[in-house]
Every structure is written in C-alpha cells, then in structure tokens.
Chain A
C-alpha cells in the first residue's frame, strides 16, 4: 500500500468516501425496511425518535475515536469507555459532597480532558504505542472508577432539572441528541473540514513525516486529539449520569469495541488520514437502527454484540475490497 503513488490514491480516496456515504445510506434504508416488516412498531415516529437517544453516548465516544484514528501514527483510544466510567463516578462523588450538579458536570468534562491529556502524554511525549498506552489507562481508569465508587453505584443527581438532559425531549427529539450529540458532530465536522487544525489532522494522519517537514508537529496535533477524545468521554459521562441518575463504575465497559466498530464502519481508515465525521454519524444511526430493530424483533440485547463483531469485520473487508477494486481498475 505504501508503494502507491500519491495522486491516484487521493482520487481513489474521494471515490471511496463518496461510496461509503452512499453505502451507509443504502444500508440504513435496507435495515429500516427489513425492521419495519418484522415489527409494525418500528416505523412509528415516536419509536424512531426515542431510538436516537441510544446513539447519543456511543456517538460521542465514536466521534472521539474517529478523530484519534484520523490522526494516524497507530493512534487508537481503547480507554474511552473507562474514561467515561471514571468521569461519571467523579461527578457522582462531587455531587455527593453537595456540589451543584451542573458544576459537577463541568468538573466531569475537565476530568475527561485531563485523562485524555494523560493518554496524549503517554503516547506523544513518552512515546508508548497508543494501543498499549490506552490499554494501560483502560485498566487504570476503569479500576480507579471501581475503587472510588467502592464497587457500587453513586447516586444523587436528581436536582436542578438535570434529568432533562438525559430523559427530556423537545418536539419529540431527545434532549441529549438535540443539545449534545448534534452540536458536537456539527462542531467537529466544521473543524475537520474548514479549520487549519482539521487540515493538519489529515496531513498528520496521511503522513506524519511530511507534515513535520511542512512545519506542523504531528505530536502536538495528536496530543490535542487524545484530549478531545477524553473530553467527549467526559461529556458522555454527563449524559449517562443524567439518563440513569446514578453513576455506575462499569458504565463505559464495552464501549471501546463499539466506538471502534462505528468509526471503522463509518469509513475511517484504521491507519489514519482518511474518513469523515459525517460517515461516523451515519454509522451511529445504522448501529442504532440495527440495535433497536433487533430489540423490537425480540432478540436478546446480548446477541447484538456478536452482530456488531460481524459488522465490524465485514466493514473492514469491504474497505479492503473497495481499495483493491480501484487498484485493479487502474
């Protein structure tokens, strides 16, 4: 792959992305049709809207994962779920001390940022490969959440209208989608497409060496991406807490697989430099429809993990097939 010349590759990538968007839309359509045949409740507007709330938290984590993957250099954040758990527990403990719930939410965001910075430091400054660094912090954050919570859940969020964020709706749209998920994606999409930073991320992801020659530091750019991923996990913790009204020390377990699956399904290249925020959002939608449809069809939620695993592998095989197909046609 490294031996390909630059120009045709760029052409190919735009095609791939275009096809990925179309592919995801087709898949979403097909899944929706199948699900509405299986269950008459599926196409009811209420259900469609309620369903989206299951995508809010995982959507935030998948967004962070997408950004870290885009930055290349073997970047990956396996600790997103554990970061969410730890931020949530910290928030719960602070609220337990009598702090205002919104102030505590701000603290959870700060904690997420800090934990992300810790990942970024380990990867970009110390130089530990991201897979291992974030594996280490997965242990660290996940267990710290358990230790701090004493192995049980921490409660007491039911104040100052906080639960509205997690359970309220505006015109039928869940508040967490309207006020958190969509703004986060809109902002990320804008930054990645229009801002200098966004362009730098793609540069760094495509070729860290070359971007260093141009004068931007790959390490600094990637450091910021880990911080953003941590921040989004903190945001995910706030949303989770306002939904459940308790902080569970295991709240984020398993999210690492889901976030990576969604990012890759959305067309993000695991080695960086290619992919789009909008693709990830479509992938979130697809996963949510699939999950909700399976649930309506009476399939036990535990089986969804296996379906997700199959989807993940198929998504990458598909990516490869696209790349190879274009290569042969040339």
Chain B
C-alpha cells in the first residue's frame, strides 16, 4: 500500500485516480457545449456556493470511510445543527459564538456516533442508520411545525467574494489542505489507513483503534457543524427534513472520488473531485433544461459507473499481477 501511495496523490491506483478528473473534464466539455451560460463566472461561482456544505461533510466522511466505517447520519445531523444556528442567529448571538456552538454541537453528535460504533461495537451502518432516525426525530421536535427563517450568520458565510471567488470556497480549501496533510503526514492519518486496511494488524502494532475511530466520527461531526453554518447562510430556512439530501450526496462524492467503501484506500483530494463532479452535474443538468428530477438518476448512474470501473480495473490489475 505504501508503495502505491508514493506514486499517486493519495492511495489510489494509477487508473482509478484518473477516472474522476477525466469524467469531470468530460462533464465540463459536454455542459459547456450544451449551454452558453455554463462556463460563465457567475454560474461557476454558483456551483461553488452550492457545494460548500457538501464538500465539508464529504471531506470528513472520507476519513471515516477510509477507516472502514460509514456515516449515514450526516444529513439529519446537519439539520439539527442548522436549526440551532438559525435560532442562535435570530436571538442575536455574536456570529463567532454561533459558529463555535455549531462546531461543538456537530462534534457532540459525531461523538454519539463514535461512541456507539467504537465503544458499543455496533456496526457503523447500523449505528448511524439508528442515529440518523434519532437526529431526524430531534429535528422534527425542534422544528415543531413552524419553518425557521434566519439571516446568514455573517456575510462571509454567504455571498461575500474574495478576488471574485466566493469566500467560503477558501474555507473548503483550508479544510481540505489540513485533512490532506493530516492523512498523509500525521500519525493519526496513517492510523486511519492502517485501521481500514486491517483492523487486527493495526491493533497488534499498537494503534489505539477505538480512539482513532472515535476521533474520526467526532471530526465528521465537527465538519457537519461547520457545514450547517454555511448551509443556513445559503438556504436561510430550516424545515423538518432539512439536510436529508446531503447524506447520500456526501457518500456519493466520497466513493465517486475513488475512496474504497471497504476501507483502507482513498484520499480527500479524490473526494474534492467527487464533490465538484456532483456539483457540476447538478448545475449543468438544470442549465441544459433537463428536468431536475433526473438528477438522482444521473448521480446513481455515475456512482455505479465510477465504482464499477474502479472494481473492474482493480480486478484486472490483480489478475495481471498474478499471471506475471
């Protein structure tokens, strides 16, 4: 594994790491030729603005999936935090305090997931399906039948531009740079890969498996909290089902980006491509006049195609290695 990672930008096979950038380029070409308004500054800024919350969640989720886990509670968790952010903003709490509160609450929800998974030994998919239902119900209780409208926490979280680019895009870049550095060069990051590759071996070589896993879930939670701030600034309203769509979109972004769902292999750089791919798809589909209902069909197809290519190329290279 170490050798392969040395050659690529993060633990992906040589074929696989080109699949998503290639698909993304193809997608840009297709949409640019189909719609005049696609390759314009305002539209691309829109694409970025609309994908910041997704990017933040997917970045953290990448670590959990590399670890061999999964989190299907991110959407409802975001909904809960978004409600708190909205309420706090309406109450006139200082923006910085609201942001800290959001991150802390998100981390707390992540801690609940992490505790159930790593302390109670409940399989991640089951644990987070369970908490997803709990968070969803909590949001329903908080929402209480009235949509909550709130202004953005700060203009920096909303439409503010820096050098013509939405300011929040830089937030994403910073978060991804940190995640990339941590996964490649810090002990914690290496441990995440080790646990995902072979939990037993990692344990035997002294990795504190439970602590690493717990930390990964808390990290996703914190990023979900941060994403909720941006989400609230973008959407401006919390409803009973706010955030639900993001759960699957985030998983889709991670796996389309090349991270193996069985753990041990993947990178946050790939996820960033995956996020862009999905964001551009959603935007381009609307611009070219395809009814938005088609979105899910396309996303579903691309998940299957991208992961299918991954799996088949992996098997072919394994066969080649075996016959050599």
Report which A residues bind B (CB closer than 8 A): 74, 76, 122, 126-129, 131-133, 135-144, 146-147, 150-151, 257, 260-261, 264, 270-271, 302-303, 305-310, 312-313, 316-317, 320
Contacts and interface: CB of A to CB of B under 8 A. Distances in A.
Given A139-B252, A140-B304, A303 B129 contact: no
Contacts, number: 131
A127 B262 contact: no
B218 interface: no
B5 to A, nearest CB: 21
Contact of B126 (A122, A140, A303, A312): A312
A139 B302 CA distance: 10
Interface of B: 70, 116, 120-123, 125-127, 129-134, 136-138, 140-141, 240, 248, 251-252, 255, 261-262, 291, 293-297, 299-301, 303-304, 307-308, 311-312, 315
Given A126-B312, A143-B293, A316 B301 contact: no
Given A76-B125, A306-B138, A316-B127, A147 B293 contact: yes
A321 B134 CA distance: 22
B79 to A, nearest CB: 13
B47 to A, nearest CB: 20
A144 B126 CA distance: 27
A142 B296 contact: yes
A316 B294 contact: no
Chain A CB within 10 A, most for which of B126, B133, B141, B252: B133
A186 B107 CA distance: 46
B251 A126 contact: no
Contacts of B130: 261, 309-310, 312-313
A173 to B, nearest CB: 30
Contact of A131 (B70, B297, B299, B312): B70
B133 A306 contact: yes
A128 B141 contact: no
A137 B312 CA distance: 18
Given A126-B312, A305-B133, A139 B297 contact: yes
Contacts of B126: 260, 264, 270, 312-313, 316
Contacts of A76: 125
A146 B296 contact: yes
B251 A310 contact: no
Contacts of A260: 126, 129
B296 A139 contact: yes
B80 to A, nearest CB: 12
B300 A139 contact: yes
B298 to A, nearest CB: 8
B123 A132 contact: no
Contact of A147 (B251, B294, B311): B294
A18 B35 CA distance: 63
Contacts of A139: 248, 252, 296-297, 299-300, 303
Top 3 nearest A-B pairs by Cβ distance? A306-B137, A143-B296, A309-B133
Contacts of B252: 135-136, 139
A131 B134 contact: no
A136 B311 CA distance: 15
B134 to A, nearest CB: 4
Contact of B307 (A132, A142, A306): A132
Given A302-B137, A306-B138, A136 B304 contact: yes
Contacts of A144: 297
B174 to A, nearest CB: 29
Contacts of B136: 305-306, 309
A312 B297 contact: no
A142 B301 CA distance: 12
A131 B120 CA distance: 22
B109 to A, nearest CB: 13
Nearest to B240: A302
A151 B295 CA distance: 13
A57 B301 CA distance: 27
B315 A127 contact: yes
B297 A320 contact: no
B71 to A, nearest CB: 12
A306 B134 contact: yes
A270 B130 CA distance: 14
18 contacts: A126-B308, A128-B308, A132-B303, A133-B307, A136-B307, A139-B297, A140-B304, A143-B295, A146-B293, A146-B296, A257-B132, A305-B137, A306-B133, A309-B137, A313-B127, A313-B131, A317-B122, A320-B120
Nearest to B121: A320
Interface centre among B123, B248, B295, B300 (most CB of A within 10 A): B300
Contact of B248 (A138, A313, A317): A138
Contact of A128 (B122, B129, B299, B304): B304
A115 to B, nearest CB: 12
Contacts of B255: 132
Contacts of A313: 116, 120, 122, 126-127, 130-131
Contact of B134 (A74, A136, A309): A309
B260 to A, nearest CB: 8
B297 A122 contact: no
Contacts of B122: 313, 316-317, 320
A128 B307 contact: yes
